[in-house]
Structures are given as C-alpha cells and as structure tokens.
Structure 1
C-alpha cells in the first residue's frame, strides 16, 4: 500500500482486516479517534507487540549444553544442533569448542582430540561413524543372546 501511494485514511481502515488473534483484540480495544496517522498506528502496534519478538541467542548459551551421563551421543547431537540453529551467525570454531566442551569424557571425545578435527562437519561425520559402530556392536552382542534363547526353546 505504501509503494502504491495509498492515502493514510485507507491504510488505517485496511490495517485491522489483516489482524488475527491477540493483534485483533489489541486493535479493538483502542480508543476511537485516538490515532491520527498510519505512522502512529504502526508505532503503537510495534511497541505493543515487540515483546513477543524472539531474539537470536548468543553463542555463550552453547557452552551450557552438556551431555548427561545417561544421554546417547545421538540425543546430545540433536539437542546441540537444535540450539545452534537459534544462534545468529555462529562461528565454526566456537561451535566446535562448545560441542566438544559439552561431551562427556569417553572414547569419542578422545578420538576427536586425537585426530585433530578442523570443522564442525568433521566432528559430525566422525560422530556418525562412531554411532554406526556402536549400533553394529550392540547388534552383534544381541545376536548370540537370541541364538541362545532359540536353542533353549527347542
């Protein structure tokens, strides 16, 4: 409407037709004739609803993410990735440090330090290989148990 040069009065009358939910309720509670221009209406609307705006988090919040003792690597990665998506322009080195800082001590963390990973992609690639190896070992350990149960039932 602004680009087409629509008159202020028409903008003010059209504005409420675009509102839903809480915004519509807010508008309906305005005192009649309390707003003189569309610019004033825009300013009041913005100042009222700016509190609902979701701000991007800082990279510092990534340092608080820790892998719990009972948490799988897969679950930790999912949690870390979800949080890192809420960070605006997260630096690769900071992501790496925060991720490794949050890992509990163990073979996987040792392998990351031992192999001197360079990027977060390297870490996630190694994590995938590590998780696949763990899954394969668990499946291998379960096979003999199933065979023993099968023998016992004969």
Structure 2
C-alpha cells in the first residue's frame, strides 16, 4: 500500500486502508495501531501530535484524519468539463481518445449522450470528425469501434509516408556519412604523389 504524504485525496487512502483491514478481519484496536504505518512525512508528524487518549475508535481517527487533509480531496468533475478537451493540431486520434476516455472515468454518472457530444465537439476537422457528424453513434462502444478504424488508417498512413520516401531518417544519415567518407578518400588518394624529375 502506498504511504500517504498529505498531497492526495485522503478519502482514497482511507478506502484502501479499510478494504485491506476488512480482508484481514482486523479489530478496531488493530486498525488504530496499523493506520500510522501507512503515513509518512508531515502526516506522521500530525499523527504524533494528536493529544494522548484523544482517539476512542478507528472511526474517530478517520474523521480527524479526513478533517485535517480534506483540502486535498479531489474536486468532482462534471459533464461540462469534457468541453475543455480538444484534439491538438498535430495530436493523433489515438492520443486524443486516450485523454478523453481518462477524463470520462473521472466523471460519475456521465450520460452517454453528453460523452458522445463532448467527444465530437473536441475533434479537429478530419476524416473521423466528418464520418461521425454524418452518422451520430448511439453508444460509446460504437464510438470506440469507429475510432479504431481511423486510428489504424492514421497509423498506416504514417507508415506509408516512411516507405514512399524509401529511407528513414537514420538511413539518410548513414547514406550522407558514406558520401562524406568516399569524398574524403578521394582527396587522400591524390594528396601524396611522387614528384617528377626535371627534364633536361
């Protein structure tokens, strides 16, 4: 279990701790004694400064812990926050979909329609945005399946550009180096010569 340093949501830490204690069927006293082991840095100092005999149960300790570190609680995200996600000018569809999906996971009870509209709104102009605006998907699964096709097309297009040029950047650098070496050899070849004697 990751030690709590006071910079993340205390609720997550408490939930993780409680589920582990539940699995071991630990008593209330064991929970109180085990909890400080999951703390570090300034948080352990906070615990050490609690007045003696000020904790009567683990629930009491949890309330005090949460009250002290609640400022770090994650702010709830809502559907309108999806409107801030935009596909960058050079960002691949794959990267955009990953970022969008991560944001969707942070929003509780997100309506499917809101997710689909947010996704369409953030797409930059291109083949996928044109396809999706002509025929609106009805589920997130459909969006994902359709996006996969365009992600593969993007990938194939990038690979095609490399093969059309015939060389990768590394190959071009190697070729240029060979030319330099050959040019250098020619110069060295004629640098040393045997002088002719004077004709009389």
TM value normalised by structure 1:
0.75
Unaligned runs of 5+ in 1: none
Larger Rg: 2
Is residue 103 of structure 2 the alignment partner of residue 92 of structure 1?
no
Cα RMSD, aligned residues only: 3.1
Taking the aligned partners of 2:96 and 2:157, their CA distance within structure 1 comes to 20
Taking the aligned partners of 1:56 and 1:42, their CA distance within structure 2 comes to 21
Which aligned segments of 4 or more residues in structure 1 are displaced greater than 6 angstroms? Answer: none
Is residue 143 of structure 2 the alignment partner of residue 123 of structure 1?
yes
Is residue 162 of structure 2 the alignment partner of residue 145 of structure 1?
no
Total equivalences in the alignment: 143
Is residue 72 of structure 2 the alignment partner of residue 52 of structure 1?
yes
TM value normalised by structure 2:
0.60
Unaligned runs of 5+ in 2: 1-20, 179-200
Is residue 35 of structure 2 the alignment partner of residue 18 of structure 1?
yes
Taking the aligned partners of 2:63 and 2:154, their CA distance within structure 1 comes to 57
Shift of 1:139: 2.5
